[in-house]
Amino acid sequence: MNTPSTENAEPTKPVADPLASLVGTGPETVARRKDIGELHKRLVAMITTVGTGFGEAEAARIERDRAVLSSRLDDVERAVNSMEGALRIELEPMLRSIVADATAQRQSRIGTKILKFLGLGVIFGGGLVVGGIFAAEVLQIKDLGVGFLTRFMGN
């Protein structure tokens, strides 16, 4: 566990002295202070441009993704429009004919039912009229038929 006093502590003298002697003075110096300053500037510039490069790459990727997505949405829209056109051109007449046939069949069924009912009414009414006009003759024919059947069955 770090304590606040050891976190920000300066390097101890035995470590700092050899580094200082290598860097700054003498014929065997690794780098001059000017070189270290230049190296520091380069590192700072690289670090700042790395962040910028990532941002530009991300923006380019986002733009490519938007273009691909927009292209796919355009394809879907074209497909939907063509499907809508096909439905209007082909499905509408088909639906009209189906509905017309269904209503014609329904009307013909209603018409045939009405005609059957009227026909039965005419037959029943005609029977009543004939029965009313020819009631006496019908009763005579009935009596003849009953008499014939009783004689025929009785013998």
Q: For the segment 73-115, what is each residue's pLDDT rounded down to a tens digit?
A: 999 999 888 888 877 788 788 888 888 888 877 776 777 788 8
User: The whole model's pTM is what?
Assistant: 0.32
Residues in CB range of 39: below 8 A, 6 or more apart:
31
Cβ 32 vs Cβ 24: under 8 Å: yes
Tokens of 4: 């606040």
How many CA atoms, within 13 angstroms, populate the side-chain half-sphere of residue 69?
6
Q: How far apart are CA 98 and CA 93, in angstroms?
A: 9
Residues in CB range of 35: below 8 A, 6 or more apart:
none
Cβ 10 vs Cβ 16: under 8 Å: yes
Q: How far apart are CA 57 and CA 55, in angstroms?
A: 5
- Give me the pLDDT at residue 2, please: 47
Q: For the segment 37-75, what is each residue's pLDDT rounded down to a tens digit?
A: 788 888 888 877 766 667 777 888 889 999 999 999 999
Cβ 84 vs Cβ 92: under 8 Å: no
